[in-house]
């Protein structure tokens, strides 16, 4: 693989269920991000990680958690899904301060 891989591509999830969205990169980028994309709202930051072992909250962190055990992986967990978490989720990474982000292809999640 080259770049960022997200899994699954899409998922329909019952409300109240737990779900982990996976994100793996092979570029050795230090910083990684999770965004959600909603119509009319653009992309909003959920959580970020500057480097392995550290994480932080973005604009809309409630209901989500992340971990960064190593450089390559940055999973996003929904502990108990709610319909308002229906969205397209994008994982991204960047190599340094003045660089643009590399995005994954996204996970389309529907909570019913």
Partner 1 sequence: AQSVAQPEDQVNVAEGNPLTVKCTYSVSGNPYLFWYVQYPNRGLQFLLKYITGDNLVKGSYGFEAEFNKSQTSFHLKKPSALVSDSALYFCAVRDEGTGFQKLVFGTGTRLLVSP
Residue 103 CB partners (closer than 8 Å, separation 6+): 4, 90, 91, 92
At its nearest, how many Å lie between partner 1 and the CB of residue 90?
6
- The binding track of 42-81 with respect to partner 1, each residue x by CB under 8 A or -, is xxxx--x-x-----x-x-----------------------
Distance of alpha carbon 48 from alpha carbon 66, whole angstroms: 8
Chosen residue from 60, 64, 78, 90 binding partner 1 by CB under 8 A: 90
Q: In this structure, what DSSP letter does residue 73 have?
A: B
Residue 77 sits at the vertex; the CA angle it makes with 66 and 80, to the nearest 5 degrees, is 135
Chosen residue from 19, 21, 23, 31 binding partner 1 by CB under 8 A: 31
Give the binding site for partner 1 (CB under 8 A).
4, 31, 33, 35, 40-45, 48, 50, 56, 58, 90, 92, 97-98, 100-106
């Amino acid at each position: 693989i080259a770049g960022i891989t997200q899994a699954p591509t899409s998922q329909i999830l019952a409300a109240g269920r737990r779900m982990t969205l996976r994100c793996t990169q092979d570029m050795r980028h230090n910083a990684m991000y999770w965004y959600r994309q909603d119509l009319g709202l653009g992309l909003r930051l959920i959580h970020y990680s500057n480097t392995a072992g550290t994480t932080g909250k973005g604009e809309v962190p409630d209901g989500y958690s992340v971990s960064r055990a190593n450089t390559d992986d940055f999973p996003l967990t929904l502990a108990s899904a709610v319909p308002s978490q229906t969205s397209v989720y994008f994982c991204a990474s960047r190599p340094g301060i003045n660089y643009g982000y590399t995005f994954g292809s996204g996970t389309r999640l529907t909570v019913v």
